[in-house]
Amino acid sequence: MGELLSDLSESLAATVEAAGNVVVQVDARKRLPASGILWSADGVVVTAHHVLEREENIKVGLPDGDDVPATLVGRDPSTDLAVLRIDSPGLKEAVRADTKSLRVGHLVLALGRPTGDIRATLGVASALGGGRDISSAGRLDFYVQTDVVMYPGFSGGPLVDVESRVLGLNTSALARGLSLAVPVDTIERVVKSILTHGRIRRGYLGIGAQPVSLPEALAKNLGQESGLLLVSVEEGSPADQGGLALGDTILAIDGQPVRQIDELRGLLGDERIGTRVKLRYLRGGRAQETEVTVGERS
């Protein structure tokens, strides 16, 4: 048993040492600095949106101890992600894990560098899920919940597996009392959009809506208990051009049920902008379908 524990201990220490090469310090607030991830060797750094209390005079502390200035490229409050750019030679690049292979119970490590030295805490993946509502008016299409202790300054740092691969970015801001990690697939999508457009693009239908319960018989027939009642439809908007009207109740988009406003937002990501989606709705007690071209929210 002692040899087994010794081997495990050495393995975890080696994991932290290897993964620590892509963990940086992010100094953009008055109190203790936070952490970040060297996302690509050309100087892209990913950190948590909520740790950036200023957008200028940002400093990034590299694993070798050097401090370099950073420029804020963009941020996305709905996923608590921000993208910085630094200029320094010989940067490492985060090795991404495939989160599809992650299972509840797998060992994970949260890393941070709020001071010059790497810090780590060990835990397990305690839950995996998707479509989580978050208070900043967005949703996580997938998330990793862990039981790791989020010490001060760990937000923005990576969650890694035992092979030193990055599973996601740790944040304490998306859910009170829970340790969540934004997974690498979401980070990739957000980084790509911010580097390309300078922002996260959001889909737009041009409607005002509120959740409404469906009559019991209708809910049983449709297999859905609620939908979104349209309380306004902007003239000339995608919804208007698709034939939707005040009083209609949206049931689904491309076959995905829509019961809450956050579910609608989650289905109107940047990948759907400019595309035609099949929208199922209720009018006069009858389910109907139409196609709508998703616009871009200005």
Residues with catalytic roles: 50, 80, 155
Q: How far apart (Å, rounded) are the C-alpha atoms in residues 117 and 63? A: 8
| Alpha carbon separation from 215 to 117, 227, 228 (Å, rounded) | 60, 11, 13
Picking from 191, 181, 186, the residue whose alpha carbon sits closest to that of residue 112 is 181
Which residues lie closer than 8 Å to 290 by C-beta, 6 or more apart?
Answer: 242, 243, 244, 278, 279, 281
Encode burial over 103-116: b for 16+ CB neighbours within 10 A, e otherwise: eeebebbbbbbbee
Say if residue 73 is exposed, middle or buried (CB neighbours under 10 Å; 0-12, 13-18, 19+): middle
Q: Which residue has the tokens 């101890």?
A: 65
Q: What is the DSSP letter of 128?
A: E
Q: Which residue has the tokens 């390309």?
A: 196
Structure tokens at 158: 């990576």
At 44, give phi and psi (nearest 5°).
-85, 125
Q: How far apart (Å, rounded) are the C-alpha atoms in residues 262 and 83? A: 24
Other C-beta atoms within 10 Å of 225: how many? 13
Q: Do 222 and 287 touch, CB atoms closer than 8 A?
A: yes
Q: How far apart (Å, rounded) are the C-alpha atoms in residues 175 and 161? A: 22
Q: Which amino acid is at 226?
A: S
Structure tokens at 104: 């509840």
